[in-house]
Chains A and B, each alone.
Chain A
């Protein structure tokens, strides 16, 4: 009997160690990302990195200012969110409240398909169809603009926003809805006065996750935003080429010698990106927890 128990104990420990791989992976990721990034700050100050307004990695002396890239990421993401949040929430309301269950059953896999399309295919479509279209419609010197990035990223963030928001709407207790309808409110009044407020924290989590998805996206933005590292004006910068943090890493890493200043600067940008998404996920997580607590109460 005790031998059997020993074997069971050993298996449990082995399983614990296996699942510990995720912790080790996260730990190593932080160490290697921050270590390689920190090596930049022998010759360059942290302040000049964070507040620097120009990114000229090949001028001499090289300038590694984060601001143009950060601003590029922010403007593209902001545009994407402005487009995808209303559209995504509207689609979620439609699927959860209005659509015939049979139609909803067809729409769901459709949204999954949207989530499955590789980012490089979105980028390709953006480059070939959306970019020329924008250039013609708005008579811009080039269609490769922050706006093109926002449109494509908005589409890519949609499945995340739709599915999380739909879950939040579906988890609103039926009694609330029935109570409101029984008082003589129309279905729409019930939706925007009762159901949406009750689902608000879940919907905010959906928005945060959408932001996280958009800010970390690489290939699509790299292919459609033109990649010019200048600080964009707001809002007219939407119609100019911009360069995001993700695109900078992917574009420049191929050309730099390993261990050079520039190499470490790109890791430093990666570290900023990691911290940004970390914070966004933390907020999304705490918002989600809040609405779970509300449900139980």
Chain B
């Protein structure tokens, strides 16, 4: 049977609304569940103490230190590489074989599963270069994983810089590199920052690559060099939630760890939104 067009429209739109609502409800339930259960666990001790009694009590301090070191080191590697690559692609390269190959490589790396990056890091950094399972191996692996993300975001930001900026600067007899450094890059910085901040969230949450390149089940101390193994928040959550004999006993610790992890990721998302809005306001003035 056929519905009258106006009835069909009502039915269809109602279905669309239900679909949208169910997406929202699912995400809200997930977030609220973790926030409500994790909130009571959070305390200064939880984030500043070592795990105790075979990880059934105590805090997550070493995991936080590990995750922060991973973020610092992988960003120090990927950010300069990413921005310079984006500058080449957007400001210097002309369509041709070289830029086609670079774009293709970026797209492929971006689509490669993170666990495959883990295998790659294991074979190249841990085994071949002999860095062993360590902060260094894991950070190098994560740096390669987010390189495409940073290049894409930076390139996008450079593309929004008006062409007049380049022409005006070049017309004054300023060289291309100076133009890029002094005129174009400053104008693109907010967009680039947004991309960087979002990839920090990504690095904080990645588990599979560090699982293969050096994350430790449990370490009773803080890593003392980049060649040490380390604990990290996402892997710590995985370990607590899936292995050992006291899974239900450590449930509060699991919620707490998940909440700290979510907090880091959302803080980064929030910063990205603030940068974006600030920049938009400036533009519309």
Contacts and interface: CB of A to CB of B under 8 A. Distances in A.
B205 A119 contact: yes
- Chain A contact surface mostly: helix
A110 interface: yes
B237 A121 contact: yes
Nearest to B17: A94
Interface string B92-119: 1100001001100111110111111111
A90 B15 CA distance: 8
A32 B213 CA distance: 15
Contacts of A187: 9
Given A94-B19, A186-B5, A250-B115, A117 B124 contact: no
Nearest to A32: B123
Interface string A147-176: 000000001001000100000000000000
A2 interface: no
A109 B258 CA distance: 21
Contacts of A91: 16, 19-20, 23
A119 B33 contact: no
Contacts of A189: 5, 8-9
A128 B85 CA distance: 43
A243 B105 CA distance: 30
Interface in B113-159: 113-120, 122-124, 127-128, 144, 147-148, 151
Interface string A104-130: 000101101110111111111101110
A86 interface: yes
A188 B26 contact: no
Interface string B28-51: 011101100000000000000000
Contacts of B118: 249-250, 253
A94 B20 contact: yes
B87 interface: yes
A32 B141 CA distance: 13
B283 interface: no
A87 B23 CA distance: 8
Contact of B107 (A35, A36, A253, A281): A281
A28 interface: yes
Given A21-B147, A118-B261, A250-B115, A90 B16 contact: yes
Given A188-B12, A218-B115, A16 B238 contact: no
A206 B84 CA distance: 29
A127 B120 contact: no
User: Range of interface residues on chain B?
Assistant: 35 or more
Contact of B85 (A12, A18, A129): A18
Contacts of B115: 216, 218, 246, 249-250, 270, 273
A4 B176 CA distance: 11
Among the interface residues B13, B98, B204, which one has the most CB atoms of the partner chain A within 10 A? Answer: B13
Contacts of A186: 5-6, 8-9
- Chain B contact surface mostly: helix
A20 interface: yes
B234 A118 contact: yes
A117 B262 contact: yes
A28 B104 CA distance: 15
B107 A285 contact: yes
Interface string A60-87: 0000000000000000000000000011
A25 B234 contact: no
A12 B113 contact: no
Contacts of A99: 20
Nearest to B98: A16
A146 to B, nearest CB: 18
A127 B116 contact: no
A121 B236 CA distance: 11
A265 to B, nearest CB: 12
Contacts of B176: 8
Interface in A218-236: 218-219, 223
B27 A15 contact: no
Nearest to A278: B108
Interface of B: 5-6, 8-9, 12-13, 15-17, 19-20, 22-24, 26-27, 29-31, 33-34, 81, 84-85, 87-89, 92-93, 98, 101-102, 105-109, 111-120, 122-124, 127-128, 144, 147-148, 151, 175-177, 198, 201-202, 204-208, 211-212, 234-235, 237-238, 241-242, 251, 254, 258, 261-262, 265-266, 268-269, 273
**Considering the complex of A and B, which 7 residue pairs feature the smallest CB-CB distances, nearest first?**
A118-B205, A216-B113, A90-B19, A19-B85, A188-B9, A281-B111, A15-B88
Given A29-B112, A35-B123, A120-B207, 8 more contacts: A7-B175, A28-B120, A87-B23, A116-B269, A119-B208, A123-B241, A125-B33, A253-B118
